[in-house]
Amino acid sequence: MQLTFVTDLGQTYAVDIDPDMELENVMALLEAESSIPPGEQSISHNGRELTDPKATIRALGVGEHAMLLLRRRVNVPGPEGRPIEQDAEMMRLQILGDPQLMRQLQDVRDYSFLL
């Protein structure tokens, strides 16, 4: 199955994985692609953070051609970060504002629902 991971900095990583791969193994694969260590990765799908490292991608409800948000966890004291809805909106706006990124996403799947 092909998945697309988008960072809050606008970087994209398209990876092919087995749907029965555990989240912790996907995170190790993403480390090779993004240089973000698994312990610092936060992966969200449909506004929900995926937190069970032993769960398979299939069990987590992630389907073929899904787009997931990959963020680097930063340990800073103080108030909580932005709600995930704001992050999703920020990601949507970044995609809409970057024609090259839009083309990449359209090559993977028709993402016209973002418009």
**Sorting pLDDT into bands at 50, 70 and 90, what band is 1?**
very high
pLDDT score, position 17: 95
Assess contact for 69 and 87: CB atoms under 8 A: yes
**Domain coverage including residue 103:** 2-74+82-114
pLDDT score, position 86: 67
Measured between alpha carbons, how far is 113 from 49 in angstroms, rounded to an integer?
22
pLDDT tens, position by position, 4-38: 999 988 899 999 999 999 999 999 999 999 999 99
How many structural domains are present in the chain? 1
Assess contact for 50 and 79: CB atoms under 8 A: no
pTM given for the model: 0.65
The percent of residues above 70 in pLDDT, for the chain, comes to 83
Measured between alpha carbons, how far is 53 from 37 in angstroms, rounded to an integer?
14
pLDDT tens, position by position, 68-87: 999 998 765 545 555 666 67
Task: Write the CATH number for 7.
Answer: 3.10.20.90
Assess contact for 40 and 73: CB atoms under 8 A: yes
